[in-house]
Chains A and B, each alone.
Chain A
């Protein structure tokens, strides 16, 4: 029991991360808005569609602002139609400084929600000299009121996939690393058991890699519009899986056991640095749709807020431990099979 604490920990973490990752709600956000023509010095009526919002319940404390670089325009009237819809009226000034305005909503229970570049201003109404009330500009980005995940444009609910897609790759890399360690051991000890360990960890690692590609494809279908978007990272991940399929093919091609152990160990050690180059070095050289590459901001910079971290890190650790556990199980099954045959 005490010896197996990490298995229990891994299983618990995976269960926790899966449940928390699916059950915890998203923060309220503004999904889209509809508005009429902007006329200087006239009221503008905006219909705001919210996501996960409680406009009607929060009616008293609900406030909306239009923001450009130099001013913050407060709505003169807010009239919630229901929890997801509200009619908001602004008294427009003669001109705006920028051609796009952000819409920001605040309420006492739900905190701050915003939609960037929500309203587009006609060119006639843009006046660069218009500088108003510089002091009143900031709205406090206070802490979220309850435990929730951030609401992101064009990610929406799929932000939860982070807790499944990314840990798959971590687990795969750890398993391949284990396999390389045992391959090196195989070369120095010539033992069949080390060889068996190397193969089984590659087997499990390949399964995790396939899961990673599949979860990634589902995510890509939703956010980028195509399951296979010919993104560099997608392509390189596929190639690095090919590398390990080649390893498995190589093993099947050789009948003699000692020779197979040695040769495949050598190929494995040769392949691992190539995989590292493929997955970590090359994507940085070119543009990728993935966050963190080619000028896209990484998840760390703004997406991964403190609430997400509380689920994301346990998910990674949990999947790694479970991957390792599956590998030890597979290895023991193979060992029993082999001993039976003798």
Chain B
């Protein structure tokens, strides 16, 4: 369904690539901590842009149409899955391009990759639900930012820590705590949004 708005997808991709490039032009050389922080900032804004579209962009009429043909649970599952896939692809491309441009590869690349994947997963589950809430509330973009930032900050903190461990090439058992926390947060956010979405959707 979202495949129709392919231009939007390409737009987000272009957004990521150009942000990375702008960052490169302004920083040129960069130390590890800034590298990490920058990556997550870029990912955060890219994912807000990408995922917010899932509900905010749809017109009233189209929502009504979807409402008649699909159950709310199916809808939220589909939207979340789509966003997870979208974010995964986006993250991979961004990570590839990012490390290519800056010429800096984390010491424990698989671990960093896991962190990036977990990050995209949690961004997409949280933002999907928040964008649904924001779209229902009517006052789009501003509300989206206000609602989602406090929700996402804890996840972001854990992610940055995990990613930092991966960059420094610490032993993997050190990061298990963070991975577990992230998974729990994801499962929780997912479960709550699946439970609550039907109430939200019923107008």
Say which size band chain B's interface belongs to: 20 to 34
Kindly supply a per-residue 1/0 record for chain A positions 305-337, scoring 1 wherever the CB is within 8 Å of any chain B CB and 0 otherwise. 000000000000000000000000000000000
Q: List 26 A-B contacts (CB under 8 A).
A: A239-B150, A246-B147, A246-B149, A250-B133, A250-B137, A253-B138, A259-B136, A262-B199, A262-B200, A263-B200, A265-B199, A266-B133, A266-B199, A270-B151, A270-B193, A273-B188, A273-B192, A274-B185, A277-B181, A277-B184, A278-B154, A281-B184, A282-B154, A285-B177, A285-B181, A286-B161
In the complex, the chain A residue whose C-beta lies closest to that of B202 is A262
Given known contacts A239-B150, A270-B193, A250 and B143 CB-to-CB distance under 8 angstroms:
yes
CB distance A242 to B150 under 8 Å?
Answer: yes
CB distance B138 to A282 under 8 Å?
Answer: no
CB distance B196 to A266 under 8 Å?
Answer: yes
Picked from A187, A239, A266, A270, the residue with its CB within 8 Å of the CB of B154 is A239
B contacts, CB < 8 Å to A: 129-130, 133, 136-139, 143, 146-147, 149-151, 153-154, 157-158, 161, 177-178, 181, 184-185, 188-189, 192-193, 196, 199-200
Interchain nearest-CB distance for B158 vs A (Å): 7
Q: Of A187, A263, A266, which is in contact with the most chain B CB atoms at under 10 Å from its CB? A: A266
CB distance A277 to B154 under 8 Å?
Answer: yes
CB distance B138 to A254 under 8 Å?
Answer: yes
Check if A166 is an interface residue, CB within 8 A of chain B: no
What chain A residues lie within 8 Å of B181 (beta carbons)? 277, 281-282, 285
Picked from A250, A259, A281, A285, the residue with its CB within 8 Å of the CB of B147 is A250
- Kindly count the residue-residue contacts between A and B in the assembled complex, taking CB atoms under 8 Å apart: 81
Number of interface residues of A (CB under 8 A): 28
Check if A12 is an interface residue, CB within 8 A of chain B: no
Check if A92 is an interface residue, CB within 8 A of chain B: no
Distance A270 CA – B154 CA, assembled complex (angstroms): 14
Interchain nearest-CB distance for B139 vs A (Å): 5
In the complex, the chain B residue whose C-beta lies closest to that of A285 is B177
Kindly supply a per-residue 1/0 record for chain A positions 252-285, scoring 1 wherever the CB is within 8 Å of any chain B CB and 0 otherwise. 0110000100110111011101100110011001
Distance A267 CA – B148 CA, assembled complex (angstroms): 10
Picked from B138, B153, B158, B196, the residue with its CB within 8 Å of the CB of A270 is B196
Distance A129 CA – B157 CA, assembled complex (angstroms): 50
CB distance B147 to A267 under 8 Å?
Answer: yes
Distance A273 CA – B185 CA, assembled complex (angstroms): 9
What chain B residues lie within 8 Å of A281 (beta carbons)? 181, 184
**Shortest Cβ-Cβ A-B pairs, 4 listed:** A243-B150, A242-B150, A266-B196, A253-B139
Given known contacts A246-B146, A270-B151, A282-B158, A263 and B193 CB-to-CB distance under 8 angstroms:
no
